[in-house]
Structure 1
Amino acid sequence: MQEILQQLAERWIVYKIDLTNFVGLTNDAMHIHISLLLLLVSAILFRRRPDSIWCWLVVFCAELFNEYADIRGAAPDEATLDAAIHDIYNTMFWPTVILLLGRFLFPPRAKKGKNKEAVSSDLPDQSFKESATV
């Protein structure tokens, strides 16, 4: 397993360096943009809100693998503990803000209970059991 992770880390470092050079952004900016992209893509794939803990965990796991790859793959200027902490902070800042504030500012809708009577779409204030008085 360790050997597979090492090979993935080495491939990821080469891909990451090429992507950063192609896009022309700094390493810090790439961390921020990719974290938000991963958060939104995971929300679409999981069919959850972006403030879901599951979407946040996808970003966090991806960032942990990225830091593992930086340290194991000996990425230039990235193979130190200080650089790893800085990258984790940069990557996780906005997903964490979205996770925390999203729950307070936009609370999930209350699910309708199974015991409640079904509501007619024609007359939303009357249930199916009541007759319409027109």
Structure 2
Amino acid sequence: MQEILQHLAERWIAYKIRLIEYVGLTNDAMHIHMSLLLLFVSAILFRRRPDSLWCWLVVFLAELFNEYADLSGAAPDEAGLDSAMHDIYNTMFWPTIIVILGRFLFPRRLKVTRPAPDPDASSDLADQPFKESATV
């Protein structure tokens, strides 16, 4: 399992370096953009709101894997614990704000439960008393 993770980490770091060079953003900006992209893509895939803890967890697990790859020595200048904590903060800041504010500003609607229809009741309202309409 360790060999598989190490191999994935090396491939991920090589891809990440090429992506940063191609896009032209800083490493910090990439962490922020990718965290938001992951949050919204996971919301679409899970069919949940972006303030779902499941979506937040997807971003967090992806970031933990990214930091594992960085700390394993595959990434240049990213192998320190201070750098890892900085990256985790950068990555998780906006998804955490979205989860917290989304819960307070946009609460979930409560499902209205309606009583189950009586199977013995008639659908033509014949069992209800007749009410005359108001005359004009």
Flag whether TM exceeds 0.5 (same fold). Answer: yes
Distance 1:49 1:78 in 2: 33
Aligned residues: 123
The corresponding residue for 1:87 is 87
SS at match of 1:77: coil
**AA paired with 2:42?**
S
Distance 1:51 1:80 in 2: 31
Residue 73 of structure 1, CA deviation: 3.7
Distance 1:115 1:74 in 2: 61
What 5-or-longer segments of structure 2 have no aligned partner? 118-123
Residue 10 of structure 1, CA deviation: 0.4
The corresponding residue for 2:23 is 23
What 5-or-longer segments of structure 1 have no aligned partner? 118-127
SS at match of 1:110: coil
Distance 1:114 1:16 in 2: 52
C-alpha change, 1:115 and 1:61, in structure 2 (3 Å) is same
**Aligned CA-pair RMSD:** 2.1
Please, what TM-score do these two structures have when normalized by structure 1?
0.85
Larger Rg: 2
Is 1:49 the counterpart of 2:49 in the alignment?
A: yes
**AA paired with 2:21?**
N
Runs of 4+ in 1 over 2 A off after TM superposition: 114-117, 128-131
Distance 2:65 2:93 in 1: 17
- The answer to whether the Cα contact below 8 Å between 2:39 and 2:50 also exists between their aligned partners in 1 is yes
- The answer to whether the Cα contact below 8 Å between 2:51 and 2:103 also exists between their aligned partners in 1 is yes
- The answer to whether the Cα contact below 8 Å between 1:9 and 1:73 also exists between their aligned partners in 2 is no
